[in-house]
Amino acid sequence: MKKKITIAIVGCGVIAPTHIKSFQLHKDTEVKWACDLMVDKARRLAQIHAIECTTQDYRELLDDSDVDCVAICTDHSSHSPIAVDALDAGKHVLCEKALGATREGMDAMCAAHQRNPELVFSGVFQHRFDHSIRTLRRAVSDGALGTLLNAGVQLRCLRTDEYYHGDAWRGTWQEEGGSVLINQSIHFIDALLWIVGGASQVCGAYANITHAGAIETEDCAAAALRLNCGALGTLEATSSSHLGWEPTLSLHGVRGSIEFRNGELIKSRFENPDDAEMLIQELECGEQAQGVACGKDYYGTGHPAQIADFLDAVRGGREPFISGEDARHAVDVVLGIYDSHEKNRWVPVRKPTADAVSCC
Ligand SMILES: NC(=O)c1ccc[n+]([C@@H]2O[C@H](COP(=O)([O-])OP(=O)(O)OC[C@H]3O[C@@H](n4cnc5c(N)ncnc54)[C@H](O)[C@@H]3O)[C@@H](O)[C@H]2O)c1
Protein backbone atom coordinates (compact mmCIF):
# COMPACT_ATOMS: atom_id res chain seq x y z
CA MET A 1 0.00 0.00 0.00
CA LYS A 2 1.28 3.48 -0.89
CA LYS A 3 2.33 5.37 2.21
CA LYS A 4 0.65 8.63 3.12
CA ILE A 5 2.21 11.99 2.26
CA THR A 6 3.89 12.82 5.56
CA ILE A 7 4.04 16.41 6.79
CA ALA A 8 6.12 18.17 9.42
CA ILE A 9 5.02 21.57 10.75
CA VAL A 10 7.85 23.84 11.91
CA GLY A 11 6.64 26.71 14.11
CA CYS A 12 3.59 26.07 16.32
CA GLY A 13 2.22 29.59 16.80
CA VAL A 14 -0.78 31.47 15.47
CA ILE A 15 -0.85 30.25 11.84
CA ALA A 16 0.16 26.61 12.42
CA PRO A 17 -3.37 25.25 13.17
CA THR A 18 -4.60 26.65 9.83
CA HIS A 19 -1.91 24.58 8.07
CA ILE A 20 -2.56 21.46 10.15
CA LYS A 21 -6.32 21.56 9.57
CA SER A 22 -5.84 22.22 5.86
CA PHE A 23 -3.46 19.23 5.51
CA GLN A 24 -5.74 17.01 7.58
CA LEU A 25 -8.57 17.57 5.08
CA HIS A 26 -6.69 15.11 2.82
CA LYS A 27 -7.08 11.40 3.57
CA ASP A 28 -3.78 10.48 1.90
CA THR A 29 -1.87 12.91 4.17
CA GLU A 30 -0.54 12.56 7.71
CA VAL A 31 0.80 15.41 9.84
CA LYS A 32 3.44 13.47 11.78
CA TRP A 33 5.62 16.17 13.38
CA ALA A 34 5.02 19.42 15.28
CA CYS A 35 8.23 21.35 15.94
CA ASP A 36 8.79 24.53 17.92
CA LEU A 37 11.78 26.03 19.72
CA MET A 38 9.33 26.31 22.62
CA VAL A 39 8.59 22.61 22.76
CA ASP A 40 5.51 23.04 24.98
CA LYS A 41 3.81 24.82 22.08
CA ALA A 42 4.59 21.85 19.85
CA ARG A 43 3.27 19.41 22.46
CA ARG A 44 0.05 21.39 22.90
CA LEU A 45 -0.65 21.41 19.15
CA ALA A 46 0.29 17.74 18.87
CA GLN A 47 -2.22 16.87 21.55
CA ILE A 48 -5.04 18.90 19.99
CA HIS A 49 -4.48 17.64 16.44
CA ALA A 50 -3.37 14.02 17.13
CA ILE A 51 0.20 14.54 15.87
CA GLU A 52 2.58 11.67 16.70
CA CYS A 53 5.97 13.36 17.20
CA THR A 54 7.26 16.62 18.66
CA THR A 55 10.67 18.24 18.77
CA GLN A 56 12.31 21.59 19.33
CA ASP A 57 15.01 20.96 16.72
CA TYR A 58 13.77 20.86 13.11
CA ARG A 59 16.87 18.88 12.10
CA GLU A 60 15.41 15.88 13.94
CA LEU A 61 12.39 15.71 11.63
CA LEU A 62 14.61 16.23 8.57
CA ASP A 63 16.36 12.97 9.57
CA ASP A 64 13.02 11.11 9.49
CA SER A 65 12.88 9.37 6.11
CA ASP A 66 9.06 9.18 6.41
CA VAL A 67 8.77 12.97 6.15
CA ASP A 68 7.95 14.15 2.62
CA CYS A 69 7.04 17.79 3.22
CA VAL A 70 7.94 20.58 5.62
CA ALA A 71 5.51 23.45 6.23
CA ILE A 72 7.39 26.49 7.61
CA CYS A 73 5.31 28.61 10.01
CA THR A 74 8.07 30.45 11.89
CA ASP A 75 9.22 34.10 12.01
CA HIS A 76 10.44 35.58 8.72
CA SER A 77 14.20 35.42 9.29
CA SER A 78 14.17 31.69 10.07
CA HIS A 79 12.33 30.75 6.85
CA SER A 80 15.53 30.70 4.80
CA PRO A 81 17.77 28.42 6.89
CA ILE A 82 14.91 25.97 7.54
CA ALA A 83 13.87 25.87 3.86
CA VAL A 84 17.48 25.42 2.66
CA ASP A 85 18.10 22.56 5.11
CA ALA A 86 14.74 20.94 4.28
CA LEU A 87 15.27 21.10 0.50
CA ASP A 88 18.82 19.78 0.84
CA ALA A 89 17.41 16.94 2.99
CA GLY A 90 15.09 16.01 0.11
CA LYS A 91 11.84 17.42 1.53
CA HIS A 92 9.20 19.42 -0.35
CA VAL A 93 8.73 22.87 1.23
CA LEU A 94 5.70 25.09 1.75
CA CYS A 95 6.82 28.38 3.30
CA GLU A 96 4.58 31.01 4.90
CA LYS A 97 4.77 34.62 3.78
CA ALA A 98 6.94 36.63 3.74
CA LEU A 99 9.20 34.17 1.88
CA GLY A 100 12.27 35.66 3.55
CA ALA A 101 13.43 38.71 5.45
CA THR A 102 16.41 39.47 3.17
CA ARG A 103 17.43 39.08 -0.48
CA GLU A 104 20.38 36.91 0.55
CA GLY A 105 18.05 34.59 2.48
CA MET A 106 15.68 34.25 -0.49
CA ASP A 107 18.62 33.77 -2.91
CA ALA A 108 19.78 30.87 -0.71
CA MET A 109 16.29 29.31 -0.76
CA CYS A 110 16.02 29.57 -4.56
CA ALA A 111 19.55 28.17 -4.96
CA ALA A 112 18.62 25.19 -2.75
CA HIS A 113 15.58 24.60 -4.96
CA GLN A 114 17.77 24.79 -8.07
CA ARG A 115 20.01 22.11 -6.53
CA ASN A 116 16.88 19.98 -5.93
CA PRO A 117 14.57 20.80 -8.85
CA GLU A 118 12.51 17.61 -8.43
CA LEU A 119 11.15 18.96 -5.13
CA VAL A 120 8.10 21.22 -4.78
CA PHE A 121 8.95 24.61 -3.28
CA SER A 122 5.97 26.90 -2.73
CA GLY A 123 5.40 30.22 -0.95
CA VAL A 124 2.08 31.00 0.76
CA PHE A 125 -0.05 33.82 -0.66
CA GLN A 126 -3.49 32.41 -0.01
CA HIS A 127 -5.34 35.41 -1.45
CA ARG A 128 -4.23 34.40 -4.96
CA PHE A 129 -6.79 31.59 -4.52
CA ASP A 130 -9.63 34.09 -3.83
CA HIS A 131 -12.18 34.12 -6.61
CA SER A 132 -12.24 37.94 -6.52
CA ILE A 133 -8.46 38.34 -6.96
CA ARG A 134 -8.44 35.79 -9.80
CA THR A 135 -11.32 37.60 -11.47
CA LEU A 136 -9.47 40.92 -11.30
CA ARG A 137 -6.36 39.34 -12.81
CA ARG A 138 -8.43 37.86 -15.62
CA ALA A 139 -10.17 41.21 -16.24
CA VAL A 140 -6.74 42.84 -16.68
CA SER A 141 -5.24 40.09 -18.83
CA ASP A 142 -8.37 39.84 -21.01
CA GLY A 143 -8.10 43.59 -21.66
CA ALA A 144 -11.47 44.52 -20.09
CA LEU A 145 -9.86 47.61 -18.54
CA GLY A 146 -7.80 48.41 -21.65
CA THR A 147 -4.27 49.70 -21.25
CA LEU A 148 -3.62 50.28 -17.55
CA LEU A 149 -2.72 53.77 -16.33
CA ASN A 150 -2.74 53.45 -12.52
CA ALA A 151 -2.92 50.62 -10.02
CA GLY A 152 -3.05 51.14 -6.28
CA VAL A 153 -2.99 49.20 -3.04
CA GLN A 154 -3.90 50.53 0.39
CA LEU A 155 -3.77 48.53 3.59
CA ARG A 156 -5.18 49.84 6.84
CA CYS A 157 -4.98 47.72 9.94
CA LEU A 158 -4.60 48.12 13.68
CA ARG A 159 -1.70 46.58 15.58
CA THR A 160 -1.28 47.72 19.17
CA ASP A 161 1.91 47.87 21.22
CA GLU A 162 0.58 44.80 23.09
CA TYR A 163 0.47 42.86 19.80
CA TYR A 164 4.14 43.68 19.21
CA HIS A 165 5.12 42.86 22.79
CA GLY A 166 3.45 39.42 22.45
CA ASP A 167 6.27 37.84 20.39
CA ALA A 168 9.90 38.96 20.44
CA TRP A 169 10.38 38.70 16.65
CA ARG A 170 7.65 41.18 15.76
CA GLY A 171 8.68 44.78 15.20
CA THR A 172 12.37 43.90 14.66
CA TRP A 173 14.43 44.44 11.50
CA GLN A 174 16.44 41.30 12.24
CA GLU A 175 13.63 38.77 12.61
CA GLU A 176 10.46 40.27 11.11
CA GLY A 177 12.45 42.22 8.49
CA GLY A 178 10.09 45.22 8.76
CA SER A 179 6.48 45.43 9.91
CA VAL A 180 3.35 46.76 8.23
CA LEU A 181 4.88 46.40 4.74
CA ILE A 182 6.53 42.99 4.98
CA ASN A 183 3.98 41.42 7.27
CA GLN A 184 0.40 42.72 6.92
CA SER A 185 0.49 44.56 3.55
CA ILE A 186 2.47 41.93 1.70
CA HIS A 187 -0.67 39.90 0.89
CA PHE A 188 -2.19 42.76 -1.08
CA ILE A 189 1.09 44.00 -2.53
CA ASP A 190 1.46 40.47 -3.91
CA ALA A 191 -2.15 40.44 -5.14
CA LEU A 192 -1.70 43.75 -6.98
CA LEU A 193 1.64 42.71 -8.50
CA TRP A 194 0.13 39.39 -9.58
CA ILE A 195 -2.85 41.14 -11.18
CA VAL A 196 -0.77 43.68 -13.13
CA GLY A 197 2.41 41.67 -13.87
CA GLY A 198 4.97 42.90 -11.35
CA ALA A 199 7.07 46.01 -10.82
CA SER A 200 10.50 47.07 -12.06
CA GLN A 201 11.29 50.08 -9.82
CA VAL A 202 10.09 51.57 -6.54
CA CYS A 203 10.45 54.85 -4.71
CA GLY A 204 9.13 54.97 -1.19
CA ALA A 205 9.43 56.04 2.41
CA TYR A 206 8.35 54.75 5.78
CA ALA A 207 8.00 56.03 9.33
CA ASN A 208 7.23 54.90 12.84
CA ILE A 209 4.77 57.44 14.17
CA THR A 210 2.67 55.73 16.81
CA HIS A 211 4.77 52.71 17.83
CA ALA A 212 8.06 54.47 18.60
CA GLY A 213 9.56 52.78 21.65
CA ALA A 214 7.53 49.61 21.06
CA ILE A 215 9.02 48.58 17.68
CA GLU A 216 12.10 49.55 15.67
CA THR A 217 10.34 49.01 12.31
CA GLU A 218 7.69 50.96 10.35
CA ASP A 219 4.03 51.51 11.20
CA CYS A 220 3.28 53.44 8.01
CA ALA A 221 4.67 53.66 4.50
CA ALA A 222 3.96 55.10 1.08
CA ALA A 223 5.52 54.29 -2.29
CA ALA A 224 5.32 54.78 -6.04
CA LEU A 225 5.85 51.79 -8.35
CA ARG A 226 6.87 51.55 -11.99
CA LEU A 227 4.93 48.53 -13.19
CA ASN A 228 6.14 46.13 -15.88
CA CYS A 229 2.96 46.75 -17.89
CA GLY A 230 3.92 50.44 -18.23
CA ALA A 231 1.39 51.79 -15.72
CA LEU A 232 2.31 53.61 -12.51
CA GLY A 233 1.33 52.20 -9.14
CA THR A 234 0.91 53.57 -5.63
CA LEU A 235 1.03 51.92 -2.24
CA GLU A 236 -0.08 53.18 1.14
CA ALA A 237 -0.01 51.22 4.39
CA THR A 238 -0.51 51.79 8.09
CA SER A 239 -0.88 49.53 11.12
CA SER A 240 -2.33 52.33 13.25
CA SER A 241 -5.69 52.83 11.59
CA HIS A 242 -8.95 52.55 13.50
CA LEU A 243 -10.55 51.29 10.30
CA GLY A 244 -9.24 47.88 11.36
CA TRP A 245 -8.46 45.49 8.50
CA GLU A 246 -9.17 47.27 5.23
CA PRO A 247 -7.24 46.30 2.11
CA THR A 248 -8.22 48.26 -1.01
CA LEU A 249 -7.12 47.63 -4.59
CA SER A 250 -7.82 50.06 -7.42
CA LEU A 251 -7.19 49.59 -11.13
CA HIS A 252 -7.66 52.31 -13.73
CA GLY A 253 -7.38 51.57 -17.46
CA VAL A 254 -8.33 53.51 -20.57
CA ARG A 255 -11.53 51.44 -20.90
CA GLY A 256 -12.58 51.12 -17.28
CA SER A 257 -11.89 51.53 -13.56
CA ILE A 258 -12.39 49.22 -10.58
CA GLU A 259 -12.15 49.79 -6.84
CA PHE A 260 -12.17 46.77 -4.66
CA ARG A 261 -12.18 46.64 -0.84
CA ASN A 262 -12.07 43.67 1.52
CA GLY A 263 -12.97 41.31 -1.31
CA GLU A 264 -15.92 43.43 -2.48
CA LEU A 265 -16.41 45.58 -5.53
CA ILE A 266 -16.90 49.16 -4.27
CA LYS A 267 -17.05 50.97 -7.57
CA SER A 268 -16.61 50.18 -11.25
CA ARG A 269 -17.20 52.16 -14.39
CA PHE A 270 -16.48 50.99 -17.92
CA GLU A 271 -16.60 52.60 -21.35
CA ASN A 272 -18.75 49.64 -22.37
CA PRO A 273 -21.46 48.98 -19.73
CA ASP A 274 -21.59 45.30 -20.83
CA ASP A 275 -18.01 44.88 -19.53
CA ALA A 276 -19.11 46.17 -16.10
CA GLU A 277 -22.08 43.80 -16.09
CA MET A 278 -19.87 40.84 -17.04
CA LEU A 279 -17.38 41.63 -14.28
CA ILE A 280 -20.12 41.95 -11.65
CA GLN A 281 -21.67 38.67 -12.77
CA GLU A 282 -18.33 36.90 -12.73
CA LEU A 283 -17.56 38.20 -9.24
CA GLU A 284 -20.99 37.11 -7.99
CA CYS A 285 -20.99 33.65 -9.52
CA GLY A 286 -17.74 32.52 -7.88
CA GLU A 287 -18.06 29.70 -5.41
CA GLN A 288 -17.36 30.76 -1.82
CA ALA A 289 -14.33 28.71 -0.81
CA GLN A 290 -14.41 26.97 2.56
CA GLY A 291 -11.86 28.12 5.10
CA VAL A 292 -10.83 26.14 8.13
CA ALA A 293 -12.37 27.11 11.42
CA CYS A 294 -9.30 28.18 13.36
CA GLY A 295 -7.77 31.09 11.49
CA LYS A 296 -8.70 34.73 11.94
CA ASP A 297 -11.35 36.07 9.54
CA TYR A 298 -8.86 38.24 7.72
CA TYR A 299 -6.70 35.24 6.77
CA GLY A 300 -9.51 34.57 4.26
CA THR A 301 -10.31 31.12 2.94
CA GLY A 302 -7.30 30.47 0.71
CA HIS A 303 -5.10 28.23 2.89
CA PRO A 304 -7.05 25.00 2.22
CA ALA A 305 -6.96 25.73 -1.52
CA GLN A 306 -3.25 26.54 -1.53
CA ILE A 307 -2.42 23.46 0.54
CA ALA A 308 -4.57 21.29 -1.79
CA ASP A 309 -2.58 22.70 -4.72
CA PHE A 310 0.74 22.06 -2.92
CA LEU A 311 -0.22 18.42 -2.22
CA ASP A 312 -1.39 17.95 -5.79
CA ALA A 313 1.95 19.27 -7.03
CA VAL A 314 3.74 16.80 -4.72
CA ARG A 315 1.57 13.89 -5.94
CA GLY A 316 1.92 14.84 -9.59
CA GLY A 317 5.53 16.03 -9.61
CA ARG A 318 4.45 19.37 -11.07
CA GLU A 319 5.12 23.03 -10.30
CA PRO A 320 2.85 24.47 -7.59
CA PHE A 321 0.51 27.34 -8.44
CA ILE A 322 2.78 29.71 -6.46
CA SER A 323 6.43 28.72 -6.62
CA GLY A 324 8.89 30.03 -4.02
CA GLU A 325 10.61 31.95 -6.81
CA ASP A 326 7.30 33.61 -7.69
CA ALA A 327 6.46 34.37 -4.03
CA ARG A 328 9.64 36.41 -3.59
CA HIS A 329 8.66 39.25 -5.96
CA ALA A 330 6.39 40.99 -3.43
CA VAL A 331 9.19 40.73 -0.84
CA ASP A 332 11.71 42.15 -3.33
CA VAL A 333 9.36 45.11 -3.85
CA VAL A 334 9.02 45.67 -0.10
CA LEU A 335 12.79 45.41 0.41
CA GLY A 336 13.13 47.90 -2.47
CA ILE A 337 10.92 50.38 -0.58
CA TYR A 338 13.12 50.07 2.51
CA ASP A 339 16.22 50.63 0.32
CA SER A 340 14.63 53.56 -1.46
CA HIS A 341 13.87 55.20 1.90
CA GLU A 342 17.51 54.82 2.97
CA LYS A 343 18.94 56.02 -0.37
CA ASN A 344 16.27 58.68 -0.98
CA ARG A 345 15.84 57.67 -4.64
CA TRP A 346 14.15 55.22 -7.03
CA VAL A 347 15.63 51.72 -6.83
CA PRO A 348 15.36 48.79 -9.28
CA VAL A 349 13.48 45.65 -8.27
CA ARG A 350 14.64 42.14 -9.18
CA LYS A 351 12.69 40.82 -12.18
CA PRO A 352 9.73 38.58 -11.31
CA THR A 353 9.33 35.12 -12.84
CA ALA A 354 8.04 34.87 -16.41
CA ASP A 355 4.72 33.53 -15.11
CA ALA A 356 4.14 36.67 -13.05
CA VAL A 357 4.45 38.98 -16.04
CA SER A 358 2.44 36.77 -18.40
CA CYS A 359 -0.78 38.65 -17.66
CA CYS A 360 0.33 42.03 -19.02
N1 LIG B 1 -0.83 33.71 5.53
C2 LIG B 1 -1.38 34.34 6.57
O3 LIG B 1 -2.51 34.83 6.54
C4 LIG B 1 -0.58 34.44 7.84
C5 LIG B 1 -1.21 34.80 9.05
C6 LIG B 1 -0.42 34.84 10.20
C7 LIG B 1 0.94 34.59 10.14
N8 LIG B 1 1.51 34.28 8.93
C9 LIG B 1 2.96 34.01 8.80
O10 LIG B 1 3.24 32.78 9.47
C11 LIG B 1 4.53 32.85 10.08
C12 LIG B 1 4.39 32.62 11.58
O13 LIG B 1 3.54 33.62 12.11
P14 LIG B 1 2.75 33.38 13.49
O15 LIG B 1 1.84 34.53 13.62
O16 LIG B 1 2.23 32.00 13.54
O17 LIG B 1 3.97 33.53 14.51
P18 LIG B 1 4.09 33.01 16.01
O19 LIG B 1 5.10 33.85 16.69
O20 LIG B 1 2.72 32.88 16.61
O21 LIG B 1 4.66 31.53 15.80
C22 LIG B 1 5.94 31.29 15.30
C23 LIG B 1 6.53 30.12 16.06
O24 LIG B 1 7.72 29.70 15.42
C25 LIG B 1 8.62 29.24 16.42
N26 LIG B 1 9.97 29.20 15.86
C27 LIG B 1 10.77 30.24 15.49
N28 LIG B 1 11.95 29.79 15.00
C29 LIG B 1 11.88 28.43 15.04
C30 LIG B 1 12.77 27.39 14.66
N31 LIG B 1 13.98 27.66 14.16
N32 LIG B 1 12.39 26.11 14.86
C33 LIG B 1 11.18 25.82 15.39
N34 LIG B 1 10.28 26.77 15.76
C35 LIG B 1 10.63 28.06 15.59
C36 LIG B 1 8.42 30.23 17.55
O37 LIG B 1 8.86 29.70 18.79
C38 LIG B 1 6.91 30.46 17.50
O39 LIG B 1 6.21 29.60 18.38
C40 LIG B 1 5.09 34.23 9.71
O41 LIG B 1 5.83 34.10 8.54
C42 LIG B 1 3.84 35.06 9.45
O43 LIG B 1 4.03 36.17 8.60
C44 LIG B 1 0.77 34.17 7.80
Ligand 1 pocket: which of 96, 130, 183 to mutate (most atoms within 8 A of CB):
96
Q: Is the CB of 306 under 6 A from ligand 1?
A: no
* Residue from 9, 14, 84, 180 whose mutation best tests the ligand 1 pocket (most atoms within 8 A of CB): 14
pLDDT of 360 > 60? The answer is no
Residue-level pLDDT at 289: 59
Residue 118 confidence class, pLDDT cut points 50, 70, 90: very high
127 lines ligand 1 (CB under 6 A): no
* Three-class secondary structure assignment of the chain: CCCCEEEEEECCCCCHHHHHHHHHCCCCEEEEEEECCCHHHHHHHHHHHCCCEEECCHHHHHCCCCCCEEEECCCHHHHHHHHHHHHHCCCEEEECCCCCCCHHHHHHHHHHHHHCCCCCEEECCHHHHCHHHHHHHHHHHCCCCCCEEEEEEEEECECCHHHHHHCCCCCCCCCCCCCHHHHHHHHHHHHHHHHHCCEEEEEEEEECCCCECCECCCCEEEEEEEECCCCEEEEEEECECCCCCEEEEEEEECCEEEEEECCEEEEEEECCHHHHHHHHHHHHHCCCCCCCCCCCHHHCCHHHHHHHHHHHHHHHCCCCCCEHHHHHHHHHHHHHHHHHHHHCCCEECCCCCHHHHCCC
Mutate to test the pocket of ligand 1, among 9, 19, 36 (most ligand atoms within 8 A of CB): 36
- Which domains, ranges and CATH numbers included, belong to the chain? 5-125 (3.40.50.720), 127-290+324-357 (3.30.360.10)
CA of 332 to the centre of ligand 1 (A): 20
Q: Is the pLDDT at 11 greater than 80, yes or no? A: yes
Q: How far is the CA of 188 from the centre of ligand 1 (A)?
A: 19
Q: Tell me the CA–centroid distance for residue 12 and ligand 1, in Å.
A: 7
Check pocket membership of 45 for ligand 1, CB cut-off 6 A.
no
User: pLDDT (tens digit, 9 = 90+) per residue, 120-169?
Assistant: 999 999 999 999 999 999 999 999 999 999 999 999 999 999 899 889 99
Closest residue by Cα to atom 31, ligand 1, is 78
Instruction: Say what the pLDDT of residue 353 is.
Output: 83
Question: Atom 19, ligand 1: which residue's CA is nearest?
Answer: 13
Q: How far is the CA of 271 from the centre of ligand 1 (A)?
A: 46
| C-beta of 75 in contact with ligand 1 (< 6 A) | yes
CA of 79 to the centre of ligand 1 (A): 9
pLDDT bucket at 294, cuts 50 / 70 / 90 = low
Does the C-beta of 38 come closer than 6 Å to ligand 1? yes
What average pLDDT does the structure give for the chain? Answer: 93
